[in-house]
Amino acid sequence: MMTRIVVVGGGFAGINLIKGLAGKKGIEVVLVDKNNYHFFPPLLYQVATAFIEPSNITYPFRKMFQGKQNVRFYNGTLLSVDEEEKQIITDSGRLNYDFLVLAMGTETNFYGLETLKTKALPIKTIEDALYLRNHLLMNMEKAVKTTNPQERAKLLNLVIAGGGPTGVELAGMAGEMSKSIFRKDYPELGEAAGNIYLVGSGDKLLGPMSKQAQQESYKQLFKLGIQIKLGVAVQDYMNDEVILSNGEKISTCSLIWASGVVAANVNGLPDESRGRGGRLKVDEYNSILGIDSIFAIGDICCQTTDKHYPEGHPQLAQVAIQQGKLLAANLVNLTDNKRMKPFTYVNKGSMAIITKYHAVVDLPFGSFKGYFAWLTWLFVHIIPIAGFRNKAKLAYNWIWSFLTNDPNLRLIIRAKKDL
Ligand SMILES: Cc1cc2nc3c(=O)[nH]c(=O)nc-3n(C[C@H](O)[C@H](O)[C@H](O)COP(=O)(O)OP(=O)(O)OC[C@H]3O[C@@H](n4cnc5c(N)ncnc54)[C@H](O)[C@@H]3O)c2cc1C
C-alpha cells in the first residue's frame, strides 16, 4: 500500500518537502500548483525593473522532478478541501489524499481598500512583475509623446508603498535605473524626470532589521534622490492621485503595492483554524490544530510553539525551507510509525540590497553594510535559485547589468489577450 501525500504549492516550503520525500519507499507524492513552475520571489523586483530575465528565477516543476519515480505534478488551483472524503477539489478535478500538505504561501493584502485592489500594482508573482515592467516602460513611451508637463510628471512619478525589504530594494533599483539608463534611452525627455516616492507607515525603513540596516537604507536611498515618507500610510488611489494619511496627494500613474500579505485562502477548513493574517494555526509538527492528516508549512501557517517565536515565525524563505525539510522527515517517520520531531527555526539572518554596490546584512552574530554586504547578498541569493543553468545565467546577467549599467531587457511584451 502506498501512502499518498498531496502537496499544494511548490514554493520554497513545498519543493523542499518534496525533495525530502522523493525516492522514499511506500510514499507517492502529488504536487499541485496553479503554475507549472517554481519561482524565486526575492528577485521579482529585478524582473519588474527589467534588470534580469523572468527565466532566471523560474524553473518548471516537471523538469525539477524528472526521474523521481514517486513524484507527480498536477497543474491546478486548489478551490477547497473535503476533510471527510479526504479529497481536495481543484479547478480541474478532485484528488484523494492520505496526508495533505498546504503550502500555498500568501497573497497581496490590500487591507480591504477596493480602489487599491483594482488600480495599484502588486509585486507577488511573475505575472505581476512582467505586468509592472510593461506598465513602467509603456508610461515612459507615453511620457515621451505628451507635451503637457503635468501629464508627463504623472507618467514619470512612481510611488512605492511599503518600507520593508521589497519596497526598499525596488526604490533603490528604480532610482539607479532612472539615473543611469533613462536619460540614455529617452533623450526626448531631456532633464524632465519623475520623482520616486517610498511611503512607509512605520517610522523606519526595513522595520524588522537592525538599527544600522535601517539607518543605512535611509541614507543610501536619500542620496539617490528617493523621496522617503515615513509614518504615513497610503489611504486611497483615485484619478491618478495617491492620497496619503496626512492628506498629501501625489500625482502618479504608477502606485506599486509592496505593503502587506495575507495567507492564501483555503475553503473547507473551519474558521477556528485561522489565526493572525489568516494564517493556519499549526502545532509543533506543522499539523493544523484540530484537523486530522492535514499539515501546513511556510508562509501560510502560524506556529507559536517555537519558544523564540511565540507570535509565529516571520514569513521568510528560510522558515519555509526548514519547515519543508523537517516535515519530509516527519512524514517518513509517521508512515514508519516512528516519532516526529518538533520544529525549531534556525535564524540564519536577513539582508537587503539598497543600491548598486550597497547592501545591509544582519547575521545572528552581527551586522555589516556596504560593498562586502552587497557581495554577500549576491552570493546568498544565487544559491537557492533552482538549476545550475539558471544560476550561471543569473550570475552572467548580474555581471553584465551591474558593470554596464545598461541591461538590454527593456522589452514591452504583452500577451495577445492584453493587447
Ligand atoms: C517580492 C517578495 C520579496 C521577498 N523577499 C524575500 C527575501 O529577500 N528574503 C526572504 O527570506 N523572504 C523574502 N520573501 C518572502 C518569501 O518569498 C516567502 O517567505 C516564501 O516564498 C514562502 O514560501 P512558501 O513556500 O510558503 O510560499 P510561496 O513561495 O509563496 O509559494 C506558494 C506556491 O503555492 C502556489 N499556490 C498558491 N495558491 C495556490 C492555489 N490556490 N492552488 C495551487 N497552487 C497555489 C503558488 O503558485 C506558489 O508556487 C519575499 C516575498 C516577496 C513576495
Of 276, 278, 281, nearest to 296 by C-alpha is 281
Going from the Cα of 106 to the center of ligand 1, the distance in angstroms, rounded, reads 6
Going from the Cα of 311 to the center of ligand 1, the distance in angstroms, rounded, reads 20
Residue 218, pLDDT > 80, answer yes
Mutation to probe ligand 1, out of 32, 37, 315 (largest number of atoms < 8 A from CB): 315
**pLDDT at residue 408, as a whole number:** 81
Whole-angstrom Cα distance, residue 264 to residue 220? 34
Question: What are the φ and ψ backbone dihedral angles of 384, each rounded to 5 degrees?
Answer: -80, 0
pLDDT in tens, 153-204: 999 999 999 999 999 999 999 999 888 888 889 999 887 778 999 999 999 9
Q: Whose CA is nearest to atom 33 of ligand 1?
A: 9
Q: Whose CA is nearest to atom 39 of ligand 1?
A: 104
Contacts of 385 (CB under 8 A, 6+ apart): 40, 56, 57, 391, 394
Tell me the pLDDT of the chain averaged across its residues.
94
Label residue 266 left, alpha or beta by phi (over 0 means left) and psi (-120 to 50 means alpha): beta
Going from the Cα of 188 to the center of ligand 1, the distance in angstroms, rounded, reads 40
CATH 3.50.50.60-classified regions of the chain: 3-108+261-335
Instruction: Work out which ligand 1 atom sits closest to the CA atom of 38.
Output: 49
Instruction: Work out which ligand 1 atom sits closest to the CA atom of 45.
Output: 1
Whole-angstrom Cα distance, residue 139 to residue 141? 5
Residues 62 and 36 sit within 8 Å (Cβ to Cβ): yes
Mutation to probe ligand 1, out of 92, 169, 316, 380 (largest number of atoms < 8 A from CB): 316
114-259 placed in CATH 3.50.50.100: yes
pLDDT in tens, 222-232: 999 999 999 99
**pLDDT at residue 418, as a whole number:** 54
Q: pLDDT-derived band of residue 5, with 50, 70 and 90 as boundaries?
A: very high
More confident of the two residues 51 and 77: 77
Going from the Cα of 403 to the center of ligand 1, the distance in angstroms, rounded, reads 30
Q: Whose CA is nearest to atom 27 of ligand 1?
A: 105
Q: Give SS3 for 272.
A: helix
What is the residue-wise DSSP string for 153-184?
HHHH-EEEE--SHHHHHHHHHHHHHHHHTHHH
Residues 59 and 50 sit within 8 Å (Cβ to Cβ): no
At the topology level of CATH, where does 3-108+261-335 sit? FAD/NAD(P)-binding domain (3.50.50)
What is the residue-wise DSSP string for 87-146?
EEEETTEEEE-SEEEE---EEE--TT-HHHHHHSEE-SSHHHHHHHHHHHHHHHHHHHH-
Instruction: Work out which ligand 1 atom sits closest to the CA atom of 300.
Output: 26
Going from the Cα of 315 to the center of ligand 1, the distance in angstroms, rounded, reads 9
**pLDDT at residue 20, as a whole number:** 97
Going from the Cα of 279 to the center of ligand 1, the distance in angstroms, rounded, reads 14
Label residue 88 left, alpha or beta by phi (over 0 means left) and psi (-120 to 50 means alpha): beta
Q: Whose CA is nearest to atom 6 of ligand 1?
A: 42
More confident of the two residues 359 and 190: 359
Q: Whose CA is nearest to atom 29 of ligand 1?
A: 11
Residues shown for the chain: 419
Ligand 1, CB within 6 Å, residue ranges = 8-14, 32-35, 41-42, 44, 77-78, 103-105, 123-124, 165-166, 264, 298-300, 315-318, 320
Residue 405, pLDDT > 90, answer no
Mutation to probe ligand 1, out of 34, 128, 267 (largest number of atoms < 8 A from CB): 34
CATH 3.50.50.100-classified regions of the chain: 114-259
Q: Whose CA is nearest to atom 42 of ligand 1?
A: 77
List, in sequence order, every beta strand (DSSP E) within 173-257.
196-200, 227-230, 234-238, 241-244, 249-251, 255-257
- Percent of the chain exceeding pLDDT 70 equals 99
Q: How far is CA 233 from the centre of its chain?
A: 21
Cα-atom radius of gyration of the chain, to the nearest Å?
Answer: 22
Going from the Cα of 41 to the center of ligand 1, the distance in angstroms, rounded, reads 6
Whole-angstrom Cα distance, residue 255 to residue 234? 10
pLDDT in tens, 130-140: 999 999 999 99
